[in-house]
Structure 1
Amino acid sequence: MGRRIVVSGGGTGIGLATAETFAAEGDRVVILGRRAEVLRAAADKLNAAHGADLVTWTSADLSDPEQTRRAAEFITADGDVDVVVTNAGGNVAPSNDGTLEGIAGQYQRNFEANVLTAVLLTEALLPHLTRPGGRIVHLSSVAALRGPGSYGGTKAALHTYTFELAKRLGPEGVTANAVAPGYVEDTEFFGERGTPEFIAQQIGQTLTGQPGTPVEIAAAIRYLASPEAAYVTGQVLHINGGAQYGR
């Protein structure tokens, strides 16, 4: 029997690729997100490819404590969890209208979408995380180093939360790490902003002249969640083609 894996934001993009990486190895995966129809379609696709009932799903707004609590109860009804991947989030800040109220709204919305979704899910599942051997992997971003501020600041907050968890849980044999991608193609992240010009600019910031792919990010997550990574904790793994150097 495989391990039990939880992936938030698991219906599309990096989260879906991550869920598939684990399901392909026979692990049981629970994917979470806000859109039930997207999660259902993703679970059906993965189960058809890798075996019936390996992937289950539940919808929740993970920035809300009560919805997160219910999601955790659903997840742990069948037993403990081995791996938690907090991938939900994105740059959800509205356009800046120049007012202080508008700026406050930008920071508040991105904090809820990127920090609370990771912290609340992790804390809700901590009592049910395998000890020793449990793994926590947060999804950060190159934006933690380069901005924009309201989004990048929330991803930087995940770095400090990762370090806190690594210190808190290390004596119990649990690791906590983060993966910080740069521009990754084939995701919904940029939406209408993903024009050809914008994409070219993002790729131009790399040293390799190419975008990342969801499968590449999923492979890094899979390593950090593996038994072989027991000596890796409190780390932020940058996967961005060298874009963190500020080209």
Structure 2
Amino acid sequence: MNRTVLITGGTSGIGRAVAELFAADGAEVYITGRRPDTVEPAARELGVHGIACDATMPDQVAELGERLDGPLDVLVNTAGGLPEQSPAGTPPLEALAAQWQSSVSTNVLTAVLTTAAVRDKLTAGSSIASIGTIGAERGGGSYGAAKAALAAWNAMLAAELGPRDITCNVISSGYVTGTNFFGGGMTEARHQALVDETLLKRPGTPSDIAQTVFFLASPGAHHITGQTIHVNGGAFTTR
């Protein structure tokens, strides 16, 4: 399908899986990442456009918006992650403030700034998907709280853009393997505990989330907006 798609944080993990899926469908895909040394090789491997952009920096996001020509059909906000850790010896309150500021900047501001920079390029029938987390529902600390804020912002955004026939949804992912999210912090015991929480008894994959993004950008999903879609194998259930 001849669509233009922008994916922030598209060099690895979920973002890369989303880019691969849309590229295979014939879309013109743009991926972003903070560093050229990761964006450029990922773009070559996927056969897409790559733009280095730190989505927490307003000037870089403004430049990103200017570089995109023509209308934009799909925006996928996947940039995010755990907060940066303060150096040893940082006073406790300073470290706490830095942790929360990092979480909000990385997981909310990235989506807010990117969406603001390209919203005038979105047309009737366009869709926005932002990646949330199961941690927003239970004990996610500053990271979970930031993702909960992302969902609140999405509800407001959906109301603003709905009259333009643009849908906006959050995909709240559960435990997903094959990403850099946990770094070296995942143990076999923790992996098994997270798998055991699911009803399907398997972890999620980047493809599981990518397929949900792809569906939400399809005509069949165009009456779904302002929602948080839980994709977690049943680790968190709703009714």
Fold match (TM-score > 0.5) = yes
> Matched residue of 1:244: which SS?
coil
Q: Per-residue deviation at 1:244?
A: 1.8
2:135 to 138, 143, 151: 143
Q: Does 1:65 align with 2:58?
A: yes
Tell me what 1:182 maps to.
174
- Report the residue type matching 1:199 in the other structure: H
Tell me what 2:23 maps to.
23
Distance (Å, rounded) in 2 between the aligned partners of 1:41 and 1:200: 33
- Report the residue type matching 1:80 in the other structure: P
Q: Per-residue deviation at 1:46?
A: 1.5
Asked if 2 retains the 8 angstrom alpha-carbon contact of 1:141 and 1:179, the reply is yes
Q: Per-residue deviation at 1:203?
A: 1.6
- Report the residue type matching 1:179 in the other structure: I
Runs of 4+ in structure 1 displaced over 2 angstroms? 95-98
Deviations 1:101-126 (A, max 9, x none): 11111100011100110100001100
Q: Per-residue deviation at 1:18?
A: 0.1
Change (3 A) 1:98 1:245: farther
2:108 to 111, 115, 118: 115
Deviations 1:196-239 (A, max 9, x none): 22222222222222100111110000011112211010111101
Q: Per-residue deviation at 1:165?
A: 1.0
- Report the residue type matching 1:65 in the other structure: P
- Report the residue type matching 1:94 in the other structure: Q
Asked if 2 retains the 8 angstrom alpha-carbon contact of 1:146 and 1:244, the reply is no
Q: Per-residue deviation at 1:245?
A: 4.7
1:128 to 97, 121, 145: 121
Q: Which moved more, 1:26-35 or 1:194-203?
A: 194-203
Tell me what 1:81 maps to.
72
Asked if 1 retains the 8 angstrom alpha-carbon contact of 2:83 and 2:100, the reply is no
Change (3 A) 1:81 1:152: same
Alignment of 1:92-111 (within 5 A): 92-94=83-85, 99-111=92-104
Deviations 1:73-121 (A, max 9, x none): 112xx21111100000101242797812111111000111001101000
Change (3 A) 1:215 1:191: same
Asked if 2 retains the 8 angstrom alpha-carbon contact of 1:93 and 1:107, the reply is no
Query: Identity of counterpart residues, as a percentage?
Result: 43
Q: Per-residue deviation at 1:183?
A: 0.6
Distance (Å, rounded) in 1 between the aligned partners of 2:83 and 2:111: 15
Tell me what 1:43 maps to.
43
TM-score normalized by structure 2?
0.94
Tell me what 1:222 maps to.
214
Asked if 2 retains the 8 angstrom alpha-carbon contact of 1:88 and 1:118, the reply is yes
> Matched residue of 2:55: which SS?
coil
1:91 to 70, 79, 82: 82
TM-score normalized by structure 1?
0.91
- Structure 1's unaligned 5+ residue stretches are 48-54
How many residue pairs get matched? 236
Asked if 2 retains the 8 angstrom alpha-carbon contact of 1:93 and 1:150, the reply is no
Distance (Å, rounded) in 2 between the aligned partners of 1:158 and 1:147: 16
RMSD of equivalent CA atoms? 1.7
> Matched residue of 2:204: which SS?
coil
